[in-house]
Amino acid sequence: MGLQIIKPDTNIDFMGKRLWAMFASLMVLALGLGAIVLQGGLNYGIDFAGGINIQVKFDRDIQAAEVQEALKSQNMPEIRVQQLGLDQAHEYLLRISAEGAKPEEMRTRVDQALSQSMEGEFSIQRLEMVGPKVGADLKNKALQALFYAVLFISIYISGRFEHKWMTAGIMAAGLLTGLYVLGLLAVPLAYLILAALVITLGLTWYLRLNYALGAVVALIHDVLITVGIFSLLGKEFDLTIVAALLTIMGYSLNDTIVIYDRIRENLRAQKKLPLMQTINQSVNQTLSRTLLTSGTTVLVVLCLMVLGGGVIHDFALALLIGVLVGTYSSIFVAGSMLLGIGPTPEKEPEDEAVQAA
């Protein structure tokens, strides 16, 4: 036998701690959402808000304030200076939000300002300008991506978790009808996403697709908490963060699928046991796999965050938060949800017994 971190007979009472977990989730959620409200919404990067980013690398230790001071003396439009990645990289991102600022002119002026008022060498490594039109477009595309992700994932998991593709079909039809009507009313895309979520939750509840309902709740939980923590840390949202969020959705579902499959398998095997015990047993049986997979994923994401450089740092950070939250939620949130609403009633006994690990 190789190593074992989780002993085979481990039996942690996860469900007994569900109130604590719920409390913790709500606290973090409230903190994150509070941060978003206090900042007056999400902190958009230039991909969505438009503007100019100039990345500068210095050859020595420098404070962001120093850079700010050097630029201020040169009568430039307002520039926000942010450190990128780790301290020893000496990389800074200058963000210019002034409308109509010409990128190449800004490059020259930043270059002049820094070489006049700062000692040491530096180089301008990267320049990005997103105009308002492209910014609005990218925002729209990001929202569309989230919208379709919610749509497809909802339909997929209602079919997948329940092995009732007919019901999933009804679900899809209901969802598409609702969204089509809203689309006719020219509802903004952000509200469409919200509506898609609400309709999904309502339909899964109404059609008694309880596994699907639990999975969607866990998914929303993960994305909201990641977004909240990200805002709390004062990080910017851009396209790569949306990519990270979609990846997190996939990852979170992946985890939930494994645990729910085990719960269903155990429910079929031992009908007598109380639900709480079955869920606990299932979570414990898959615990070793859950921790191993999260462990290796966290390991590589940490490597990326530490070694990958400033450009990719925030992307890695979002993934790290998402993987950690996703692991937690598949144990606590998905399990507690099922305990609260009960598993999907299995009507037909001849329902093909799809068994899974």
| Number of residues binding to other proteins, judged by CB under 8 A | 74
Q: How far is the CB of 295 from other proteins (least distance, A)?
A: 8
**Residue 250 interacting with other proteins (CB under 8 A):** yes
Q: How far is the CB of 238 from other proteins (least distance, A)?
A: 10
Write the interaction track for other proteins spanning residues 166-205; mark x where CB under 8 A is met and - where it is not. ----------------------------------------
Q: Which is nearer to other proteins, 35 or 324 (CB)?
A: 324
**What are the structure tokens assigned to 198, written together?**
């609400």
The C-alpha angle 229, 251, 324, rounded to 5 degrees, equals 40
Q: Which is nearer to other proteins, 6 or 31 (CB)?
A: 6
**Residue 29 interacting with other proteins (CB under 8 A):** no
Contact 228, 33 (CB under 8 A): yes
Q: How many CA atoms lie within 13 A of 117 on its CB side?
A: 14
**What are the structure tokens assigned to 346, written together?**
């299995």
Q: Which is nearer to other proteins, 130 or 217 (CB)?
A: 130
Could you say which residues in the range 202-221 bind other proteins, by CB under 8 A? none
CA–CA gap between residue 41 and residue 45 (Å, rounded): 12
**Residue 275 interacting with other proteins (CB under 8 A):** no
Candidates 29, 101, 258, 275; binder of other proteins (CB under 8 A) is 258
Contact 203, 174 (CB under 8 A): yes
Candidates 31, 82, 83, 156; binder of other proteins (CB under 8 A) is 156
Residue with tokens 């689309």: 183
**What are the structure tokens assigned to 91, written together?**
């990389």
Segment interacting with other proteins (CB under 8 A) among 13-21, 26-34, 121-129, 182-190 = 121-129
Bridge-based pairing state of the strands 91-96 and 79-84: antiparallel
CA–CA gap between residue 158 and residue 145 (Å, rounded): 20
